[in-house]
Structures are given as C-alpha cells and as structure tokens.
C-alpha cells in the first residue's frame, strides 16, 4: 500500500505543458466487453435460417423480462427508439406535455417531440443529479400526461415519491433506465418499477448489442402496441406470416422500422448472462474510486442513496471550482493530456439550441454541469487503472490549486 500511496501523490509538470503523462495511451471513459462466446453466439445466427424477426429475438426478450421482473419485454433498434416507442404506446401526441429531467441524454426529450408532444424540463437533486420530485410537482400543468424518471449514472430515482405524485395527478410514471440495467430499488430490479421502462444496449452500457434497446412493460396491451410500432405497425410480422402460410398484413397506424435483428439479439442474450459479473466489476471499481477520492480535496463523487443498488454506468464527480484557478474545461483538457479519457454527461437538455424556447429554469443542473466530470469505468478496467485516474486527478488539481 505504501507504493500505491506514493504513486497517488505524484506531482510534476502537467503533460499538457510538456511533462510526462500518467499514461502513455488513452484510457477511455467506457467501452464494450466482448468475449469469444459472444462472437460464437452471433456466428450461430449467421449460419441459421433467420437473420431478423426470428427466434433469437423472442429468446432475448423472454430472458430480459425474467431478469428485470417485467411481464414482457420488447426489443427495438436503440434506446432512443425505445423512448419513441414508449411515447407511441402511451398515445402521446400534439398538445400533450411530458415532464423529463434536464440532466439526461437528449433522446429522452426528443422522443416526446417525435410523438408530437412537448417535453417540460424538471431540475435535479444537487447531491445525486436525479430528477427532483419537488421540481416535478411544480411543473405539472393541465396538459401534463406523464413523468419520465431517468436513473442518471445508474442509480434508481426516488420512485416512491414520483409514484405518489403521478397517482395523485393521474399521470403515467415511466422510466428511462438506459443507465441502470442491473440496479435495484428497495429490493426490486429496475425494469418492473413503472408501467414502462426503457433500456439501451449501446457499447458503453451494461450489456451491448452494438446498437439496440428494450422496453419492459407490465401490460400486454402496451406490449402489443410496442411490437406493432417497431414493425411499421403491421398486424403480423414475417415470422407470424411464415407460420400461418400467408402474405397478408394490415397497417392501421403509422409505425417505424425499429426492429432489432437476430444477430444483435444473440449477442444480447450472451451478454445478459454476464450481467451480474459486469455490474459487480463496476461496483468494485466505484468502491475503489470512493476510497481513493476520500482524501482528494476539491472532488466530490455523487451521493448514493439508501435502499438502492447502483449499476455505475457512469462514475461522476463534481469539482470545487472555487479552489481552482481554472474552469472545468481546463481540467478536462489536462486530464485528457495525461491519458485519462474523462467525459462530461451532460449539457442540460434545455440549454441545447433545439430547446431554447423551453419554459422555466433548472439552476441546480446548470450549476452542476459547469463542475462535473465522468471518470472512466467499465468492466475490464483494473484497480491499477483506477489508481492512474486518481493520480492524474491529483496531479492536475494540485497544479491548478489556488
């Protein structure tokens, strides 16, 4: 441990100023974990009769529903497609408002607009950056139809408080769990906590299908609407038509081509079996960060609330800019020069040019954005990698101290 502590206290000239970097190659903030059995699963599908709308899709959906405790699961081509399909299933349309947190990826809000509705942005809690129930309650109006809770960074929201608000106002409570697959809230897995929950399988997420998404549902009627929507709103897909020996189908609503193919589903099914291992590794890495950052002045990790397990899609810290001579942008650039692939998640969506006309303000999210950094975290990282990140962070913050 003495060697580790000595390493973590190294100073010296910053790499951005010509000094030696902590790492010779960039450590990314996230990346996929693909093994030979994942590759073999995809190859088996390539050698089969079905490349899309085949049995691997059904197998993946059924296994995913079992893992998340949901009644049904419907696969789609991306997390954004899942959000869009969720809005369609709820029949969101022109004149409807949906409350979303501003601290999220833009797809959460964009999907409301895809359906013709209007996103209304709620602020977040300062310690966790999760949607603030008080801010939600203050933004409910006569046109509000739904609330979308976003499990930012992988930590479940306060679903009890949000459920109370939704039930009191007669609103649908939905979940964007694109960060939180493998997490739980009061002993229940994310995926069965609201009427519909969406997930993403982008390469940096808990499991990957390269691109892809899923909606878990508690109502089979909603599942039927989701399945139709992903396939042009046809009333029979190719597999059903083949089984029935017919070419006929009907389209009564406008749908999209949002299908997830069998190759992707085979990869997803293989990855799903490794989910506990992947989440366990993320949690161990986060625990090491917590330990090492405890005595680093000017850096505060996000708070973790009681009665939750955290999936740690992201490990986000906030900087004490009053203790530094530079802004977050300078710290970001210096860390990248040290070989640490930090990132920023996210510019509050209401500050995007697309949403300049959004009503209200979100001062907590705006203040957090100026101070936040996402540190690298993914299952194949090592504890030595974590020590490199903290070494670089110490080095940069020491150089820029007041």
As a whole number of angstroms, the distance between CA 309 and CA 184 comes to 5
HSE on the CB side for 261, CA within 13 Å? 11
Dihedral over Cα of 98, 166, 306, 215: its sign: negative
Residues 6+ away with beta carbon under 8 Å from 318: 299, 300, 302, 368, 371, 372, 373
As a whole number of angstroms, the distance between CA 290 and CA 282 comes to 12
- Residue 15: DSSP 8-state: G
What is the SS3 assignment for 47-103? CCCCCCCCHHHHHHHHHHHHHHCCCEEEEECCHHHHHHHHHHHCCCCCCCEEEEECC
CB count, 10 Å around CB of 280?
12
How many helices (H) and strands (E) the chain has is answered by 14, 13
Question: Is 7 considered catalytic here?
Answer: no
Find the catalytic residue in 7, 20, 205, 395. Answer: 205
As a whole number of angstroms, the distance between CA 116 and CA 88 comes to 10
Residues 6+ away with beta carbon under 8 Å from 351: 102, 366, 369
Q: Is 119 helix (H, G, I), strand (E, B) or coil?
A: strand
As a whole number of angstroms, the distance between CA 64 and CA 166 comes to 26
Q: Active-site positions?
A: 205
């Amino acid at each position: 441990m003495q060697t580790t502590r000595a390493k973590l206290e190294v100073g010296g000239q910053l790499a951005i100023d010509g000094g030696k970097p902590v790492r010779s190659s960039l450590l990314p903030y996230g990346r996929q974990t693909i093994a030979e059995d994942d590759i073999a699963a995809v190859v088996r599908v390539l050698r089969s009769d079905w490349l899309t709308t085949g049995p691997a899709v059904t197998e993946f959906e059924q296994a995913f529903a079992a893992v998340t405790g949901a009644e049904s699961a419907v696969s789609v081509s991306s997390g954004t497609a899942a959000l869009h399909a969720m809005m369609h299933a709820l029949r969101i349309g022109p004149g409807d408002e949906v409350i979303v947190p501003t601290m999220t990826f833009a797809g959460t809000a964009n999907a409301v607009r895809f359906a013709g509705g209007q996103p209304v942005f709620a602020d977040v809690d300062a310690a966790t950056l999760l949607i603030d129930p008080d801010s939600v309650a203050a933004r409910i109006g006569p046109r509000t139809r739904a609330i979308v809770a976003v499990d930012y960074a992988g930590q479940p929201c306060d679903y009890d408080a949000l459920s109370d608000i939704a039930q009191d106002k007669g609103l649908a409570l939905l979940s964007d769990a694109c960060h939180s697959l493998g997490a739980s809230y009061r002993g229940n897995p994310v995926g069965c906590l609201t009427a519909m929950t969406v997930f993403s399988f982008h390469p940096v997420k808990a499991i990957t299908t390269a691109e892809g998404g899923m909606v878990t549902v508690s109502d089979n009627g909603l599942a039927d609407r989701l399945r139709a929507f992903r396939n042009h709103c046809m009333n029979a897909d190719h597999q059903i038509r083949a089984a029935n020996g017919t070419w006929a189908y009907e389209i009564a609503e406008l749908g999209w081509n949002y299908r997830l193919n069998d190759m992707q589903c085979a990869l997803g099914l293989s990855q799903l079996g490794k989910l506990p291992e992947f989440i366990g590794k993320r949690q161990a890495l986060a625990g090491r960060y917590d330990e090492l950052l405890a005595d680093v002045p000017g850096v505060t990790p996000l708070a973790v609330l009681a009665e939750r397990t955290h999936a740690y899609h992201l490990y986000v810290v906030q900087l004490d800019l009053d203790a530094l001579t530079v802004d977050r942008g300078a710290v970001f650039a210096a860390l990248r020069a040290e070989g640490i692939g930090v990132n920023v998640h996210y510019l509050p969506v209401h500050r995007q040019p697309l949403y300049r006309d959004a009503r209200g303000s979100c001062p907590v999210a705006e203040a957090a954005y100026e101070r936040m950094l996402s540190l690298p975290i993914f299952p194949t990282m090592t504890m030595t990698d974590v020590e490199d990140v903290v070494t670089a962070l110490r080095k940069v913050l020491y150089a820029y101290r007041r």
